[in-house]
Amino acid sequence: MPVIANMGKVNGIVISGAPAVSDAHVLISTPLDISVSDTAVSTVDVTLGIDSLYDVYEFHCIGIHPSGTSLPNFEFQVDTGTNTSYNQTITSTYFQAQSNYTADGAGNFAAVEYSTGEDQGQGTAFQKIAHGMGDENDDSASVILKLYAPSSTTYVKQFTSVSQMNHHNNSSYSGNTYCGGYINTTTALTRVRFKFSAGTIDAGTIKVYGLEKS
Amino acid sequence: MAKTLISTHTASADTSIDITSGITSAYKSYEFHFVNLHPANDGVGLRFQVNAAGGDKGFDESMISTMFVATLNEDGSSGAVAYNAADQAVGTDYPLLNFNTGNDDDQSCSGVLTLFGPSSTTYVKHYTYTGVTSAEDDKVHNHFIAGYINVAAAIDEISFKFSGGNIDTGVIKMFGVG
């Protein structure tokens, strides 16, 4: 499991040597930054820096490339305290714009549609934020996940994500997915886990930002 | 894309939150982040309006907007995304950014409104909104709103309120971008 390699500010303490805080969009950590030549990881856990210091957190997942299986889903879950079950209750929507073009034209399509099966109604599974990804060398997904007030002890925790992914498994497929929902707990969230539904994360970068509170 | 926090506005049973300073030519675009806005009334929508510099300051500029919404009930039923007629066609009312926000103790709405080029004196002013609502009838709405303020004059003030009752609690943060 990768360690947080680029800590900027945790619990209000600025770590010496951290990157300069240039604006209100504060880089907290970079919990994943690997290429295909590095050792693949099964999960990426963000276990530090999710606290009351910021109202809004953004997770920028860039060029996330799967290995070991075809068409996996990229997904996240959260937990509270020091728990590691990652099975909080989530209600979410999920829809996508997609286009697919095959060499012979027979499999061509383009559409915007709701994706039943990617959403969750009070489910405790990992929430998909990109799905059906390709694992060819140039396939990946990039996602921005926004999480509101995870440290609140009053409100359920709302989130949105937008992704762009592709695969080249016998076609040229482009998917643009939108997920929005809430984690149905009033307990403060302290950790986030990212993983693929099958296989490992072969390459990619995840950056955690906090938006300045005041 | 550097963001600068310009101001933070914390609701406390307010009829509206009006931001009357800080929208200038200093930034090309502005983001308004809504964090857990909790209404006093059940099933209300978050709305906004603006004032043009030098105008009547009545928060009544003409706006045109689109709205589509993804929805799912907590029991997993009725998942759908569709255009919604709660858009605004050339109106001067406060257009909706969402609807059906619940007022249970743990319910609220959160999202981001982006306003592009408010200081332009040439173009109409475009905006987009994306956000999540914990709805009154125990469902989730993911709203997508976009539109334009149909005025060429600079915009320098903005107002937020619910369609009924006060904004009991919550935070609105205004960022300049660029």
- Which long-range CB contacts under 8 A does A79-84 form with residues at least 24 apart? A79/A189, A79/A190, A79/A191, A79/A193, A80/A185, A80/A187, A80/A188, A80/A189, A80/A190, A80/A191, A81/A187, A81/A190, A82/A190, A83/A191, A84/A191
With beta carbons under 8 A apart, name residues in chain A contacting B175: 24, 211
Counting as low any pLDDT under 70, the low residues of chain B are 1
Measured CA to CA in angstroms, residue B28 lies from A78, B2, B49 at distances of 35, 12, 19
Size of interface A-B (CB pairs under 8 A): 126
Q: In what order do the strands lie in the sheet with A74-80?
A: A43-46, A189-196, A74-80, A127-130
Instruction: Give the burial string for B18-44 (b: 16+ CB within 10 Å, else e).
Output: bbeeebeeebebbbbbbbbbbbbebbb
Quick check: helix, strand or coil at residue B71? Answer: strand
Closest residue to B171, CB basis, from A55, A156, A159: A55
Residue-wise pLDDT tens digits, B95-134: 999 999 999 999 999 999 999 999 999 999 999 999 999 9
pLDDT at B99: 97
ipTM for this prediction = 0.93
B12 in contact with chain A, both atoms CB, cutoff 8 A:
no
Q: Which residue of B has its CA nearest to A113?
A: B81
CB contact under 8 A, A114 and B8: no
CA–CA dist B79, A75 (Å, integer): 19
Q: Which pLDDT belongs to residue A202?
A: 95
Question: Residue A103 carries which DSSP code?
Answer: T
Q: Which domains does chain B have, with CATH numbers?
A: 3-177 (2.60.120)
Provide the residue-wise pLDDT of chain A in tens; the chain has 214 residues: 333 433 433 333 333 333 433 478 899 999 999 999 999 999 999 999 999 999 999 999 999 999 877 789 999 999 999 999 999 999 999 999 999 998 888 889 899 999 999 999 999 999 999 999 888 888 899 999 999 999 999 999 999 999 999 887 777 889 999 999 999 999 999 999 999 999 999 999 999 999 988 7
pTM: 0.91
Q: Is residue A179 a contact partner of residue A160, using CB atoms and an 8 Å limit? A: yes
The pLDDT value recorded for residue B87 is 87
The per-residue pLDDT for A55 is 94
Q: Would an 8 Å CB–CB cutoff place A119 in contact with chain B?
A: yes
- Dihedral of the CA atoms B155, B156, B162, B166 (nearest 10)? -170
d(CA A195, CA B177): 32
Per-residue confidence (pLDDT) for residue A171, from 0 to 100: 79
Do A180 and B142 make contact, defined as CB atoms within 8 angstroms? yes
Using an 8 Å Cβ cutoff, are A210 and B175 in contact?
no
B36 touches chain A (CB under 8 A): yes
Q: According to the model, what pLDDT value does residue A15 have? A: 37
